[in-house]
Each structure stands twice: as C-alpha cells, then as structure tokens.
Amino acid sequence: MFLYTTSIIMSTYAIIDTGGKQLRVEPGRFYDVRHFASLKPNISDPNTKILIHRVLLICHGSGINLGHPWLSDAMVKGRILHPCVENKITIRKIHSKKKTRRKSGYRQDLVRFVVDSICLNGKESIN
C-alpha cells in the first residue's frame, strides 16, 4: 500500500495592471507587454530598471493582500531585457459581389521584462 502525501507549495505571485492587460507575475520570470507609460523616451533600453505600482493582488504562501483597486504600498521591481515584436496580425476585408479584396497587417511592438522582486509595505521584499 502506497501512502501519498499532499504538500501544497504556494509560490509568491502578484497580479499587475500594465499595457492595458492584467498579468500574473512571479519573481525570476520574464513577460512581454505592449508598452510602459513613461515620461522618458528611451524606456525600452536593455537593463533599464522599472517599478510597477499598479499591483492588484499579492499572494505569498497562504496570505493574500487584495487592493481596491490597487495596493497602495506594493510594487513590483524588474528590468527590461530587450524590445521585441509580436507575430504578425493579418486583416482581410472581402466585399462580396464587388470583387474587392484588401489585405493589411501589422506587428505590435512589445517589451520583454523580467521580474526581480515583489515588494510589500515598502521594505519587505518577497523573492
């Protein structure tokens, strides 16, 4: 007879709002987002440090901190790896019975960044 033990390994993660989307981020992983709102023109240079203050939720172990709409004392620290582009989106318009067809498309500019740490209460760093 086998004895199975269940151990729940809860990882630390945060849900952030950036680029018009909500992302579930974890320390040490990289993500692609559309853009960062910034006053600097060269924000997409490699190794640029970024701070994201729009943190909606932080989960650490069994504790969950939920903001309404954002947590006021939380931030996600990271750095930009490199700019990249998304796969091409093709748009086709066909008008029936008029023999007109139009094909256009574009590639969305993205920025790939890595999350270094998730901070809560200004000094507590969660890695």
pLDDT at 23: 94
Is 35 in contact with 85 (CB distance < 8 Å)? no
* Domain presence at residue 84: yes
* Domain presence at residue 104: yes
Angstrom distance (rounded) from CA 80 to CA 116: 10
pLDDT at 40: 63
pLDDT at 10: 57
Please give the tally of structural domains in the chain: 1
- Ranges of the chain with pLDDT below 70: 1-10, 37-44, 123-127
Angstrom distance (rounded) from CA 60 to CA 66: 12
- Residue 90 region, left (φ>0) first, then alpha (ψ -120 to 50), else beta? beta
* Domain presence at residue 72: yes
What residues form DSSP beta bridges with 121? none
**Vertex 118, ends 46 and 33: CA angle to 5°?**
45
Domain coverage including residue 92? 13-121
* Domain presence at residue 74: yes
